[in-house]
């Protein structure tokens, strides 16, 4: 009768690794398609004048993982509340305001896993932002008032950290700098929450 407890303990010892391999890993995969919501601070400078605001939007991407290295492509659509004005340009009382609105971005990133769930990465890509310029001549009639919308191309670089939560969810924080034609630039600090599929 003593053989039964011994046999049971041997079977349990050798079957435990097999069960452990079948159980899902609690760590993030850091690979595959993902979507996320992003928001953060948007510091905009246009032709020497600066202003801050809030930006928000959606991002998508696909990552490839090889050992501890991750390579991916990213895309974003965002909007912003940032607006800056310059006064007394030609005549006393006139003003021109630049309102930054939608922004398209596509680029790539490369990074390395630090620990089980933390990814540190650098990113770079192409961005296109819409700047709306509104000139007020400062007179009662406003005969010289005009508005102009410009779509400006630019380059974006930055870096960040991504923390996996389980296998499918993640949190992300990132700093990035964007430089546009006609003297536009942006400093942004973002936070994101997303899911992998």
3-state helix, strand, coil in the chain (%, to 5): 10, 70, 20
| Nearest Cα to Cα of residue 157 among 111, 126, 118 | 126
Domains, the chain, ordered by start: 30-196 (2.40.160.20)
- Cβ-Cβ contacts under 8 Å for 47 (sequence gap 6 or more): 86, 98, 182, 183, 184
How confident is the model over 120-176, as pLDDT tens digits?
Answer: 999 999 999 998 878 888 777 777 787 888 899 999 999 999 999 988 999 999 999
Report the predicted TM-score, pTM, of the whole model to 2 decimal places: 0.75
């Amino acid at each position: 009768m003593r053989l039964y407890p011994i046999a049971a303990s041997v079977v349990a010892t050798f079957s435990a690794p097999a069960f452990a391999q079948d159980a899902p890993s609690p760590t993030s995969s850091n690979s595959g398609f993902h979507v996320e919501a992003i928001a953060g601070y948007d510091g905009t400078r246009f032709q020497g004048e600066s202003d801050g605001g809030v930006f928000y939007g959606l991002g998508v991407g696909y990552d490839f993982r090889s050992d501890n290295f991750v390579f991916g492509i990213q895309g974003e659509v965002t909007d912003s509340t940032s607006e800056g004005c310059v006064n007394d340009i030609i005549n006393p009382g006139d003003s021109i305001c630049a309102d930054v609105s939608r922004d398209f971005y596509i680029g790539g990133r490369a990074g390395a896993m630090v620990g089980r769930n933390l990814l540190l990465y650098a990113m770079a890509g192409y961005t296109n932002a819409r700047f709306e310029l509104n000139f007020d001549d400062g007179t009662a009639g406003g005969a010289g008032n005009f508005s102009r919308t410009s779509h400006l191309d630019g380059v974006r670089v930055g870096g960040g950290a991504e923390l996996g939560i389980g296998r499918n969810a993640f949190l992300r924080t990132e700093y990035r700098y964007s430089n546009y034609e006609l003297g536009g630039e942006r400093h942004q600090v973002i936070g994101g929450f997303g899911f992998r599929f």
